Structure formats: structure tokens, C-alpha cells
Chains A and B, each alone.
Chain A
């Protein structure tokens, strides 16, 4: 195993563990929102997308009902579709494996894979290892959170919300040495944070996709390759 491959392994397992820890928070909050243990586990196993899961239980907790909960989860899941479009040609898996790859296509697996660019082998390795690691840790810790949640108190007391922010930052960090991506990241964070005050959960994040497209179009004009 080469040095670079080892570092992909370390990042994948680190990301899996760190994201998994946040699963404790999800399990605890889900039970607090009124879901039972098995409904909570069904979300982590079947939906398997942190943002959508938190949105779902968040809306249920407010008492707004199941239809807004379904819609928020669905909207927040769109970005996985973008990731899937990127992963498809990288993985080039057989048709039978595509449903499995699809389930593992989330923020973390896509981001670690992106770090491997342009080495296709590293991209694939990062995707699968991170996807499987996050899946295992996320579900085990969801279970732990749902079972012991009421005893550990509020997840924010443990700083788990800050851990999630730090994890997302770590996923894009290696890309921020390119000034164009740094500017895009700062602009996206600013726009989404500002809009989150006035728009429903999920929409502000998606709107930053428009920013990405603008940067893409400007880049094509300035850089005629």
C-alpha cells in the first residue's frame, strides 16, 4: 500500500468515526422528537443522509406534521444527486452494484473521493471506504444515542454540533488552497447562513448551487481550455 493510499485510509476512517459520533446526537434527538428506537434506526439505515434525517426529526419535533417533514428531508437530499452524478463515471460499477453505491453516496464519501483527484483509483478507494465506514459508525452510534440518549442529556452539551461544523470544514479544507474555491466557499457560507434566517431548512444550502454554477460559467469564459 502506497503512502498516499494510507493517508486516504486514515482520512476515511477518521471521517467515518467523527461522523458516527454525531450519530449519537441524531439518535438522542430523534427519540426526544417522538420517534421510537426502530423508526430512528430505519432513518439511519434507509435514509442514511444526516442532513435529511436531522431535518425530518426537527420538523416532527416542532409538531408541524409528517408532510412538511417528508418535504424537508427530500429537498435536503438533492445534493446527494449532484454527488451521484460526479461519482458515477469515477466508480463505473456494474449495474447490480449501482443501488449499493447510490445508498453510500453522501457528503462525506463524495468529499473524500474528491480529495483523491485526479487519481481514479484513490477516488474509488476513498469513496467506498468512507461510505462503508460512515454507514457502520453512523448506525451503531445512532443506536447508542437512541438507547442512552435521555441519560447523556443535551448533545450540544458535548459540543457535538461544533463537531459537525468542524467535520464539514475538514472535508473542504484541502480544496481551499485554490483561490477560486476559497472565494466560492466563503461566499456560499455567507449566503446560506444569511438566508437561513428567512427560508425553510434545506433551501439556503441548495441555493448555493446557483453560486457554484455562476463561478463555473465565469471560469469557462476566463479560462478557454
Chain B
């Protein structure tokens, strides 16, 4: 299979999940219990991404420049600093630590 076919097939498969969700009958999903589940799923999946994005590396788990960056991000979010500022500061902290260490 060529790389181009793989790009197109996988894009279609990823899109099919997105479209599938819109074809589930509304009657089923407008139930408050289902909405509650959807909110829980969102938090669980995104928190999982935070963990993996912070600790996972090619060699397994590691504690590196990302950890102080994410701790700083948590503190800044707590202080209600705007989203985009926090993200840039987190990147800068990680970059600076890697530059110096």
C-alpha cells in the first residue's frame, strides 16, 4: 500500500468516528444521564492525554523539563491567567530548562 493510500484511508476512518456520533438518534443522547456520561468521558480522556503528554517518552516514562512546565501551568491556571499565556509560558519553561541542563 502506498503512503498516499494510507493517508487517505486513515483520514476517512478517523472521520467516520466523528460522523458516526452525529448519526446516533438525538432522543437517546438528550437524556441528562447520557450528557453526564459525555462530560465525564471528556474529562477522563483529556486528563489521560495530560498524563501521557507530560510523562511518556520513547524510552518509557521520564521526569524531564515537561514536569516543571506543567506544574507552572497548573499554578497559572489557578491564578486565572489567560489560556494562551499559560501555554506559551509552559513551552518557554520547558525550552529554557532544556537549553540550560
Interface residues of A (CB under 8 A from B): 10-11, 13-15, 17-18, 21, 34-35, 39, 42-43, 46-49, 51-52, 56, 60, 66-67, 69-70, 73-74, 76-89, 92, 98-99, 101-103, 105, 107, 110-111, 114, 117, 156-173, 175, 181, 184-186, 188-193, 196-197, 204-206, 208-209, 211-213, 215-216, 219-220, 225
Contact = CB atoms under 8 A, between A and B. Distances in A.
A212 B40 contact: yes
Interface string B57-101: 000110001100110011001000011101110111111101100
Given A76-B14, A98-B19, 5 more contacts: A47-B10, A166-B90, A168-B49, A169-B77, A175-B43
Given A74-B14, A208-B45, A165 B38 contact: no
Contacts, number: 298
A79 B45 contact: yes
A81 B86 contact: no
29 contacts: A14-B84, A46-B7, A49-B14, A70-B10, A81-B18, A82-B41, A83-B38, A86-B38, A86-B42, A98-B19, A102-B21, A105-B22, A161-B94, A162-B69, A162-B93, A165-B49, A165-B73, A168-B49, A168-B50, A170-B73, A172-B50, A181-B43, A185-B43, A189-B47, A189-B51, A197-B56, A209-B41, A212-B41, A215-B44
Interface residues of B, number: 74
A193 B70 contact: no
Looking at chain B's contact residues, is the secondary structure mostly helix, strand, loop, or mixed? helix
Nearest to B99: A157
B23 to A, nearest CB: 8
B98 to A, nearest CB: 6
Contacts of A158: 91, 95
Which are the 10 A-B pairs with shortest beta-carbon distances? A84-B21, A189-B51, A159-B94, A192-B48, A162-B94, A166-B90, A159-B91, A14-B84, A86-B38, A159-B95
Contacts of B88: 18, 163
A181 B3 CA distance: 41
Contacts of A173: 74, 77
Interface in B1-57: 1-15, 17-22, 24, 26, 29-30, 32-56
A14 B24 contact: no
A220 B36 CA distance: 10
